[in-house]
Amino acid sequence: MWDGPFRTAEFETLARAEAAASLAALAGIVVGIVMLVRKRDERALFLPIAFVALAGLAAWMVERTVPLFGMTGAVLAVTLAWRLRAHAVTSLVLAAAIGWHGWDQVRTLADPQWRIAWYLPPPSADENVEMLAWVRANVPAGEPVASDFVTSAAILAFTRRPILNQPKYETRRSRELIEQMSNALYRATPSELATFLRERRCRWLVLNRPLFGATAAHIGGLRPEELARMGDKASMQMMANEPARFAHVAGFTLVYASRPELGFASYRVYRVD
């Protein structure tokens, strides 16, 4: 659920990212169907053709499955070439593809400016270390901590404090609990959020501002046009840049805030009054 992995891919994005795979898959499907129609002994091709078609549909329906489509298209192309007895051509194309990919990887990794942006989002590593150290030192052992389920996983792993929002969503019950927590974090007023946490015997709330804002649409279900009408919500007050707002949230006491010099002023920790 984090970062919206279940979102539907836009056709423009899909075509740009998988243009070669799309053309190869389309050509392979057409050639494969022709072979199926003309030769009874080619019925074994039905499975890879169907798998590529389903992978393409899955890539559109769930954007995170796009790499599967790229891989299956290549497998179908090799399978068809082999069935056509074009062994030399198949081997040459395969060697060229491996060689080109290897050269591209070496060239990319050798670039001193190259970074994987996905792995370098805020908060900074220094902010993570300091926040977790603060939780270990100030939250009594055995007391649960509320947060988004990405930050919650880190808190559980590195501080051994119980978490209110567990980072799994395989069962209906776990998804219902995450939905309740997300609604409270994003849509409740300060008094409603404080009551929600007290009912669960939780006094501590860790706010990961960059992640909280980035997932507002996917997890919080918030549309940009709604934000202007949500000034009374706890999330808007706790996320504010003005100290007069985020340091004085009714029902809560701000007990920790990341130092700006560490990176992005990402973390704020509140204690329920």
pLDDT tens sequence across 19-38: 666 666 666 677 767 776 77
pLDDT in tens, 243-272: 999 999 999 999 999 998 888 899 999 999
pLDDT tier for residue 238 given thresholds of 50, 70 and 90: very high
What is the secondary structure of 122-136 as a DSSP string?
SSPHHHHHHHHHHHH
Is pLDDT above 70 for 236? yes
pLDDT in tens, 8-17: 777 776 666 6
Closest CA to 234 of 183, 199, 198, 165: 183
CA–chain centroid gap for 76, Å, is 29
pLDDT at 1: 37
Element (H, E) at 206: strand 204-208
Is pLDDT above 60 for 154? yes
> Mean pLDDT throughout 206-223?
84
User: CB within 8 A of 47, min separation 6: which ones?
Assistant: none
Residue 165 CA to residue 271 CA, distance in Å, equals: 16
239: left (phi over 0), alpha (psi -120 to 50) or beta: alpha
pLDDT tier for residue 70 given thresholds of 50, 70 and 90: confident
> Mean pLDDT throughout 179-197?
92
State the DSSP code for 232. T
pLDDT tier for residue 192 given thresholds of 50, 70 and 90: very high
pLDDT in tens, 160-186: 999 988 777 778 888 888 888 888 988
pLDDT at 196: 95
Residue 163: phi, psi to the nearest 5? -120, 150
pLDDT in tens, 77-120: 777 777 777 677 767 777 877 787 788 778 878 888 777 766 67
Residue 139 near residue 161 (C-beta atoms within 8 A): yes
Q: How many CA atoms lie less than 13 Å away from 30 in the CB half-sphere?
A: 5
